[in-house]
Chain A
Amino acid sequence: MNILIVEDDPVSRRLLEVTLRKFGYDVVVTSNGNEALEALQGPSVPSLVISDWMMPGMDGLELCRNIRVMKKSSYTYFIILTAKGGKEDVIKGLDAGADDFLTKPFNSEELKYRVKIGERIINLEQRILKLATTDSLTGVLNRRAFMERMSEEIQRAKREKSPISLILMDIDHFKKVNDTYGHQIGDLVLQRVTDQLIDRSRAYDFVGRYGGEEFVICVLSMEDINPFSIAERMRKNIEAQTIVIDKNNQTIRITASFGVGTCRPESEDGLDDLIKRTDKALYEAKNSGRNRVCLARKE
């Protein structure tokens, strides 16, 4: 776990740093509120903050309030340091959004256990977040989480002036699988198909379950990548896959249809428009005989 230290006194700062490192934590060390806020913007953001209260400029309370209004995808656990016999009012600290407080001069054992409590809460939050964003059958993102992330990525792609693509996929005649072999086999098919989608997507792309037998893949387009060929590879792999459905090694094979849409950086299109166009392409793939990839019209 990554811990952010905010302390204006160099002596206390070093003590926190060496003690936490000794306990095996990664630490980011800052000496004031502004530096701390900056450290919380980066890509590998610390999830736990230990901040002094009394600091010149932005004090610990203000820092805590600032963190609480930041839009963050995960929680920041905040421990505020107070001084023994000090004038700081602990209630005021908790009211500003601090989770816990520690009195200086602290004992390293106490620090260890306070941090452990924070770590437990952070881990719990991450587990709940994972449950809330994952499709339990296939392990990929659920529809809501996919959409949230997709709209963030569209914003980012526009800022960075790069194209972004969406692949919509629907398993062909899935109802027949369910009717013929039962829902358990249906679930197995969904899982095996997901394996292929994950296998054929790149590290930065992400897969979601859009609905019953419908899946979505976000392709963060780079110069060298063609989303159509990614979809085509997925289609071929699914078509080639034999799925063992019972102990007697009985197998079935399935196919899937794909629509591929791209949002170019100069376009005004939002996520809704992109989905609409891609959905039409998928519909076209279904109508023209299934087991194929169709490109959406340009925006």
Chain B
Amino acid sequence: MVVFDDLSRIFDLDDALEKVGGDREILEEILVVFSESYPDQLSELKKAIDKGDAPIVERAAHTIKGSVGIFSSKKALETAFRLETMGHDENLEDAAAIYSKLEQEVEELEAALRATLSES
């Protein structure tokens, strides 16, 4: 089992649970969808950054922001929002570096969610 030294920085379980009315099963169910969909969402974002397509960067980062927001992940949400803003401002200068950070945070989030939600 993966051990995280400070889970609360990755996501806030209490907050996420409160948003779904305390129904842990709902979180488990959408985690399955998240695990399936985040690789594609990240790669769409990466491609747009490589191509310098700011509107797609904005939209793709916005979508990821929405997904990670559901799990109350402050870290990943902030990073996705930074990329969204960069896309909106059409300034992709540091986008590649921020993307790497986001990718790592999203993967970390998914692993943490799996570890936490699979506990009973």
Contacts and interface: CB of A to CB of B under 8 A. Distances in A.
Interface of A: 8-15, 18-19, 22, 54, 56, 83-87, 104-109
A43 B30 CA distance: 31
B66 A109 contact: no
Interface of B: 18-21, 23, 26, 29-30, 33-34, 36-37, 41, 59, 62-63, 65-67, 69-70, 72, 81, 88
A87 B62 CA distance: 10
A109 B19 CA distance: 8
A12 B67 contact: yes
Given A10-B36, A87-B88, A104 B26 contact: no
- A interface secondary structure, majority: mixed
Nearest to B32: A14
10 contacts: A9-B66, A10-B33, A10-B37, A11-B33, A11-B67, A12-B67, A22-B26, A87-B88, A104-B66, A108-B19
Contacts, number: 63
Given A14-B29, A18-B30, A22-B23, A83 B66 contact: yes
Nearest to A104: B66
Given A18-B30, A106-B19, A86 B62 contact: yes
Ranked nearest first, the 3 interchain pairs of A and B with the lowest CB-CB distance are: A105-B69, A11-B67, A108-B21
Contact of B66 (A12, A22, A87): A12
Given A104-B70, A108-B23, 11 more contacts: A10-B36, A11-B30, A11-B33, A12-B70, A14-B30, A18-B30, A19-B21, A22-B23, A56-B59, A83-B66, A105-B19
Contact of A54 (B26, B59, B81): B59
A85 B21 contact: no
B62 A54 contact: yes
A105 B21 contact: no
A194 to B, nearest CB: 48
A153 B30 CA distance: 45
Given A10-B36, A22-B23, A107-B18, A85 B81 contact: yes
Nearest to B88: A87
Contact of B19 (A10, A85, A107): A107
